[in-house]
């Protein structure tokens, strides 16, 4: 069964260092893609082995598919095979002649954007081998068509399990497991890949789950390779509203710490059960991060955790684990990018259940001190974007709470 969720993404062109940069807000419905299992190695569990016909392709461990093969696999890209639609194209379920189920991402090419997306994604994913990162099965380049092929696993996304209507409550032990796994996958991108990889769109709908609730970070379509410089200034700010780090949204300054902020928002979703942006909340509480900031400080000071814990858990959590998650989330969503931890530190914090120092030499609260004018401008920008969303939904006949 496929669920829908209204999702806001934005991009800012000609970004300057001013927070007055114009932002074009787009609303679209994104269906959830299924998670992808680890790549099946050549010859394991299959009599049919697809190999690249292009010697300059992804190498012997990756597969080239003809467009005709993918047409057959997806029943002609029929509506019955459609799994969902994202920012750059549709995803279809397919079946190979050997019985292997796949998910085929058919990219849009409009304005050349889809082709750039494809080339970046193939180059990046071809380097990645990690149990907590989605693996590429194959690809297709034929005329102006660009497709990516993944293994199909039907257990959906973290967003679906946290926020999907009618879903059972995600157990606390699984939330901790998911957080730790996603952290390891992201740390691998940041610290073990050469060159380093910045995901640039970390969110709960890009964290896929297998049936053991092992997290797999997916969708590197918005990923940006971090070159030799410590930061990268991009003219296209891309990401999902509610997850984007403030310095990235305002200036286009992209670092690994931008991903850390987004990961902190995901942790807050796991802790609280709330969406990153929820227009049904009272004015001023629509943003999960801004609502949570004072509660995070209070919880760390007083060790009183119930104000943040997802009430659906009915206190069925391990307090030491919840406290650790709160500490890590608070550190990740600091306003100052330089004061956020590295993902490797986050992994160690989970491994030691809070034994790792994430303060970077600061007392609680110091990291939240920053220019008040900047904060006011960020709040103004957030509310302006929120108003545009509501106007767009109203004009299209959709209700902002309908999830469609």
Contact 51, 60 (CB under 8 A): yes
Please identify which of the residues 20, 54, 143, 201 carries the catalytic annotation. Answer: 201
- Non-local (6+) Cβ contacts of 165 within 8 A are 3, 403
- Non-local (6+) Cβ contacts of 263 within 8 A are 182, 183, 186, 202, 332, 343, 346
Active site residue 351: no
Considering only the C-alpha atoms of the chain, give the largest distance between any 2 of them, rounded to a whole number of Å. Answer: 64
For the chain, the C-alpha Rg in angstroms (whole number) is 21
CA dist list (Å): 272 to 109, 226, 240: 38, 32, 19
Alpha carbons 224 and 244: distance in angstroms, whole number:
14
Contact 176, 321 (CB under 8 A): yes
CA dist list (Å): 106 to 36, 119, 121, 182, 232: 16, 13, 13, 25, 29
Is 105 marked as a binding-site residue?
A: yes
Hey, what are 14's tokens?
């000609």
Q: Which residue ranges are tagged as binding site for ATP? A: 105
Active site residues: 201
Q: Which residue ranges are tagged as binding site? A: 105
């Amino acid at each position: 069964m496929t669920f829908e969720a209204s999702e806001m993404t934005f991009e800012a062109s000609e970004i300057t260092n001013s927070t007055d940069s114009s932002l074009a807000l787009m609303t679209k419905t994104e269906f959830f893609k299924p998670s992808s299992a680890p790549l099946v190695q050549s010859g394991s569990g299959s009599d049919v082995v697809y190999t690249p016909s292009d010697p300059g392709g992804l190498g012997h461990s990756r597969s080239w598919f003809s467009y005709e093969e993918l047409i057959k696999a997806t029943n002609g890209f029929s509506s019955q095979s459609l799994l969902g639609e994202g920012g750059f194209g549709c995803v279809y379920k397919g079946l190979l002649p050997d019985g292997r189920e796949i998910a085929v991402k058919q990219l849009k090419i409009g304005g050349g954007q889809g082709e750039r997306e494809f080339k970046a994604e193939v180059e990046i994913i071809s380097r990645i081998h990690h149990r907590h990162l989605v693996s590429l099965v194959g690809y297709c380049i034929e005329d102006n068509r660009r497709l990516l092929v993944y293994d199909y696993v039907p257990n959906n996304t973290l967003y679906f399990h946290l926020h999907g209507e009618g879903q059972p409550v995600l157990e606390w032990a699984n939330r901790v497991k998911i957080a730790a796994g996603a952290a390891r996958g992201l740390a691998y991108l940041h610290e073990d890949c050469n060159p380093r990889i910045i995901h640039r769109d970390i969110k709960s709908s890009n964290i896929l789950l297998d049936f053991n609730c092992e997290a797999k970070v997916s969708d590197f379509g918005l990923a940006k390779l971090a070159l030799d410089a410590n930061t990268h200034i991009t003219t296209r700010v891309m990401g999902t509203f509610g997850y984007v780090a403030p310095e990235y949204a305002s200036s286009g300054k992209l670092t690994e710490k931008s991903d850390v902020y987004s990961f902190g928002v995901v942790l807050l979703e796991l802790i609280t059960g709330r969406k990153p942006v929820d227009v049904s909340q009272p004015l001023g509480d629509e943003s999960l991060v801004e609502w949570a900031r004072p509660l995070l400080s209070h919880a760390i000071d007083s060790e009183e955790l119930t104000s943040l814990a997802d009430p659906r858990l009915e206190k069925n959590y391990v307090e030491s684990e919840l406290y650790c998650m709160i500490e890590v989330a608070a550190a990740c969503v600091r306003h100052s990018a330089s004061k956020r931890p590295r993902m490797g530190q986050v992994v160690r914090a989970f491994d030691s259940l809070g034994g790792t120092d994430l303060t970077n030499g600061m007392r609680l609260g110091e990291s939240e001190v920053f220019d008040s004018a900047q904060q006011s401008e960020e709040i103004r920008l957030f509310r302006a974007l929120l108003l545009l969303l509501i106007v767009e939904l109203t004009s299209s006949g959709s209700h902002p709470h309908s999830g469609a």
